[in-house]
C-alpha cells in the first residue's frame, strides 16, 4: 500500500513513471512541432504596448511613475524589463504543450545573480520573483531568450552572435532537463550552483580575460554586506543610526506611515521559522525609509528597514516590498488561497524555484496592501550586461539556461519536458529565430514608447 502526500496544489505533477512521461513528451511534438515556436508576428488584435504599460501604472505612487517611465525609456532592454505586461499578452498567444510549472514570470537575463545562503555560501541562481506564477514553462524560456537577444543587440553583438547565445541557453535548458529526468526529487532539492560558476561543464570554454570578467563579479559581490551598506545609506544619530535622505531614491516617511511599516514588520515575524524569529528579536528597528528599486517595480511601495543589534550594534537591512498582481495572472487560472496574498505568492514561488532561499523570507500586510520581506543584502550582485560579449556571453547564457531548467524541474515533470525538447538542436534553432524576431519587436515597441514621451502622451521624469 502506498500513500501519496497532498501538498499545496501548484502545478501539473508527474503521475506516471519517468519513461512514460518522456514518451508522452515526445508524442506532444506532433501537436506542437518545434517550428511553431519560431513564429512571431504581432496578432491583429495585439494591444498598443504603450497603453499596456500605462495601464499597470494604476495603483502605483503617482510621484514615482514619471521616474519609472524614464527608466524604461533608457534602452530597449530597459523597456523589456519594465514591460512584462506587454510580453505576457504576447506569450499568452504563443504555442505551448500545456504543461504548467511554477515559473519565475520575469526570467530575463538581469534577474539571475549571486546571493548568500543561510549557511553563508554564495550561490548563483534566479533572484527576483515578483512575477512568479503557475504557467507554461515555455513562457520563462522565451522571456530569457528574448532578453539575451535584446541585451546582445545593445552590446553590438551581430546576428550570428545573438543566435549563438540564445542557442547556448536553450541547449543548456534542454540537456539539463534531460539529465534531471533521472535525478530523484530529494537529490534535485540539494543541487546548488556555487559562486565558482566557472566549474559548470559548459561547452564554451573561456580564456583568461573572459574568466576574469566572471571572477570580478564574484569578487565584487563578496565584498557586499549589511556592514558595508550601513556607511553608504545611513549616518550616526546620537547612539543610533538613521537613513541618509537621497530623493527620490531614498526618502523618509512621516510618523504614521513609519508606524504602519513597523506594525507590518512585527506581523511578518510570525511567517518565518521560530529560530530565526528569535534571532531577529535581538535586534531593534531604528529607522524606516522608502527606497526606489528596479525598473518594473518603480512606483510600488518598497521600504528599507534598518535593525541594529542590542549587544554589538551590528546592522541588518530588511526590504519590505509590495507584491502586486503578476503580469501573467489574467492569462492563467488563479492560484488557490492563501496564495492570492501577493506577498505570500512571491515567497511561495521563491521557495519552490530557488535552490536555497533567504531564511528570513516572509510576508505581511500593511494598510491593506500585500508585501513580502527579505534581507536587502542577501541579494548580492549580478553580471553587468555590458560585460557580456563573445564567449563570455555564450557561457553566461548557458549558465542561465541550466539554472532555469533546474528551477522548472522542481515543480514540473522533467521527463515530460525533456521528452518534448529532444536531443537534437531543432528546438534551440526555433527559439533563436523567435528571439531574433521578438527582439526586433521590442526595439520597435521601445521606439513607440519614446515617441509617446516626446509628444507628451507619457510623462517621464
Residues 274, 338, single domain; the answer is: yes
* CB neighbour class for 101 (10 Å; exposed up to 12, middle 13-18, buried from 19): buried
Last residue in a domain, options 340, 356, 379: 379
Give the pLDDT confidence of 172-225 residue by residue, as tens digits: 999 999 999 999 999 999 998 876 554 556 676 677 777 777 777 777 767 778
Give the pLDDT confidence of 102-155 residue by residue, as tens digits: 999 999 999 998 887 777 777 889 989 999 999 999 999 999 999 999 999 999
Last residue in a domain, options 323, 356, 379: 379
Q: Does residue 415 or residue 224 have the better pLDDT? A: 415
Handedness of CA 423, 425, 430, 436 (dihedral sign): positive
Q: What pLDDT sits at residue 9?
A: 42
Q: What pLDDT sits at residue 78?
A: 97
Residues 366, 400, single domain; the answer is: no
Check residue 381 and give left, alpha or beta (phi > 0: left; psi -120 to 50: alpha): left
Give the pLDDT confidence of 315-369 residue by residue, as tens digits: 999 999 999 999 999 999 998 888 899 999 999 999 999 988 899 999 999 999 9
Contact of 331 with 135, CB cutoff 8 Å: yes
Q: Residue range 57-64: average pLDDT?
A: 96
Q: What pLDDT sits at residue 378?
A: 53
Give the pLDDT confidence of 282-322 residue by residue, as tens digits: 999 999 999 999 899 999 999 999 999 999 999 999 999 99
Of 366, 363, 310, 318, nearest to 339 by C-alpha is 363
Looking at the domain assignment, is residue 205 inside a domain? no
Residues 439, 315, single domain; the answer is: no
Looking at the domain assignment, is residue 32 inside a domain? yes
Looking at the domain assignment, is residue 6 inside a domain? no
Q: Residue range 45-50: average pLDDT?
A: 98
Task: Give me the percent of the chain exceeding a pLDDT of 90.
Answer: 78
Contact of 450 with 56, CB cutoff 8 Å: no
Q: What pLDDT sits at residue 280?
A: 97
Residues 257, 365, single domain; the answer is: yes
Residues 372, 249, single domain; the answer is: yes
Q: Which residue has the cell 497532498?
A: 6
| Structural domains in the chain (count) | 2
Q: Does residue 460 or residue 217 have the better pLDDT? A: 460
Q: Does residue 392 or residue 197 have the better pLDDT? A: 392
Query: Is the pLDDT confidence value at 1 over 80?
Result: no
Residues 397, 450, single domain; the answer is: yes
Query: Is the pLDDT confidence value at 429 over 70?
Result: yes
Looking at the domain assignment, is residue 213 inside a domain? no
Looking at the domain assignment, is residue 384 inside a domain? no
Handedness of CA 110, 188, 92, 42 (dihedral sign): positive
Residues 81, 157, single domain; the answer is: yes
Residues 369, 398, single domain; the answer is: no
Of 107, 318, 145, nearest to 233 by C-alpha is 318
Within 13 Å of residue 346, how many CA atoms lie on the same side as its CB? 25
Task: Give me the percent of the chain exceeding a pLDDT of 70.
Answer: 93
Residues 82, 144, single domain; the answer is: yes
Maximum Cα–Cα distance across the chain: 71
Q: Residue range 225-233: average pLDDT?
A: 89
Give the pLDDT confidence of 259-282 residue by residue, as tens digits: 999 999 999 999 999 999 999 999
Looking at the domain assignment, is residue 78 inside a domain? yes
Q: What pLDDT sits at residue 83?
A: 97
| Cis amide linkage into residue 338, ω under 30° from 0 | yes
Looking at the domain assignment, is residue 49 inside a domain? no
pTM for this entry: 0.93
Query: Is the pLDDT confidence value at 156 over 60?
Result: yes
Of 183, 184, 178, 185, nearest to 26 by C-alpha is 178
Query: Is the pLDDT confidence value at 6 over 60?
Result: no
Q: Residue 2 — very low, low, confident or very high, per pLDDT cuts 50/70/90?
A: very low
Q: What pLDDT sits at residue 338?
A: 85
Q: Residue range 159-172: average pLDDT?
A: 97
Mean pLDDT of the chain: 91
Last residue in a domain, options 332, 358, 379: 379
Q: What pLDDT sits at residue 173?
A: 98
- 309 - beta bridge partners? 283
Q: Does residue 378 or residue 458 have the better pLDDT? A: 458
Of 89, 6, 19, nearest to 438 by C-alpha is 89
Q: In the structure grid, which three cell numbers stand for residue 284, read together?
A: 531593534
Query: Is the pLDDT confidence value at 91 over 80?
Result: yes
Q: What pLDDT sits at residue 225?
A: 82
Residues 277, 300, single domain; the answer is: yes
Query: How many other CB atoms sit within 10 Å of the CB of residue 376?
Result: 19
Looking at the domain assignment, is residue 397 inside a domain? yes
Residues 85, 147, single domain; the answer is: yes
Range of the domain at 139: 18-41+55-113+123-199+390-454
Residues 251, 322, single domain; the answer is: yes
Amino acid at each position: 500500500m502506498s500513500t501519496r502526500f497532498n501538498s499545496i496544489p501548484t502545478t501539473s505533477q508527474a503521475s506516471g513513471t519517468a519513461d512514460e512521461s518522456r514518451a508522452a513528451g515526445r508524442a506532444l511534438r506532433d501537436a506542437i512541432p518545434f517550428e511553431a515556436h519560431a513564429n512571431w508576428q504581432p496578432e491583429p488584435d495585439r494591444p498598443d504596448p504603450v497603453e499596456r504599460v500605462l495601464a499597470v501604472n494604476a495603483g502605483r505612487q503617482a510621484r514615482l511613475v514619471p521616474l519609472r517611465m524614464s527608466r524604461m525609456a533608457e534602452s530597449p532592454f530597459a523597456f523589456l524589463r519594465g514591460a512584462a505586461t506587454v510580453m505576457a499578452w504576447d506569450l499568452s498567444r504563443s504555442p505551448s504543450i500545456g504543461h504548467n510549472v511554477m515559473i519565475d514570470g520575469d526570467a530575463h537575463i538581469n534577474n539571475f545573480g549571486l546571493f548568500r545562503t543561510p549557511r553563508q555560501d554564495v550561490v548563483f541562481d534566479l533572484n527576483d520573483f515578483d512575477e512568479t506564477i503557475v504557467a507554461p514553462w515555455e513562457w520563462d524560456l522565451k522571456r530569457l531568450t528574448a532578453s539575451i537577444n535584446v541585451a546582445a543587440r545593445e552590446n553590438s553583438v551581430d546576428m550570428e552572435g545573438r543566435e549563438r547565445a540564445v542557442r547556448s541557453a536553450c541547449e543548456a535548458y534542454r540537456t539539463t532537463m534531460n539529465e534531471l529526468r533521472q535525478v530523484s526529487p530529494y537529490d534535485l532539492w540539494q543541487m546548488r550552483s556555487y559562486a565558482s560558476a566557472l566549474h559548470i561543464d559548459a561547452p564554451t570554454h573561456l580564456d583568461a580575460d573572459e574568466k576574469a570578467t566572471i571572477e570580478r563579479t564574484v569578487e565584487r559581490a563578496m565584498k557586499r554586506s549589511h556592514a558595508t551598506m550601513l556607511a553608504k545609506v545611513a549616518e550616526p544619530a546620537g547612539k543610533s543610526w538613521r537613513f541618509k535622505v537621497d530623493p527620490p531614491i531614498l526618502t523618509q516617511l512621516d510618523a504614521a506611515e513609519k508606524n504602519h511599516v513597523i506594525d507590518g514588520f512585527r506581523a511578518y515575524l510570525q511567517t518565518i521559522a521560530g529560530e530565526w524569529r528569535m534571532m531577529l528579536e535581538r535586534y531593534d528597528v531604528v529607522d524606516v525609509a522608502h527606497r526606489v528599486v528596479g525598473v518594473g517595480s518603480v512606483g510600488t511601495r518598497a521600504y528599507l528597514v534598518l535593525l541594529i543589534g542590542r549587544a554589538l550594534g551590528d546592522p541588518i537591512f530588511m526590504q519590505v516590498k509590495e507584491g502586486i498582481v503578476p503580469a501573467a495572472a489574467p492569462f492563467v487560472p488563479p492560484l488557490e488561497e492563501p496564495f492570492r496574498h501577493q506577498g505570500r505568492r512571491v515567497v511561495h514561488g521563491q521557495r519552490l524555484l530557488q535552490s536555497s532561499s533567504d531564511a528570513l523570507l516572509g510576508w505581511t500586510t500593511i494598510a491593506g496592501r500585500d508585501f513580502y520581506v527579505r534581507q536587502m543584502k542577501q541579494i548580492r550582485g549580478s553580471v553587468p550586461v555590458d560585460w557580456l560579449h563573445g564567449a563570455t556571453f555564450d557561457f553566461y547564457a548557458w549558465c542561465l539556461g541550466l539554472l532555469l531548467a533546474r528551477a522548472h524541474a522542481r515543480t514540473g515533470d522533467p521527463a515530460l519536458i525533456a521528452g518534448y525538447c529532444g536531443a537534437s538542436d531543432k528546438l534551440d534553432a526555433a527559439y533563436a529565430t523567435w528571439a531574433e524576431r521578438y527582439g526586433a519587436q521590442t526595439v520597435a515597441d521601445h521606439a513607440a514608447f519614446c515617441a509617446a514621451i516626446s509628444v507628451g502622451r507619457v510623462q517621464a521624469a
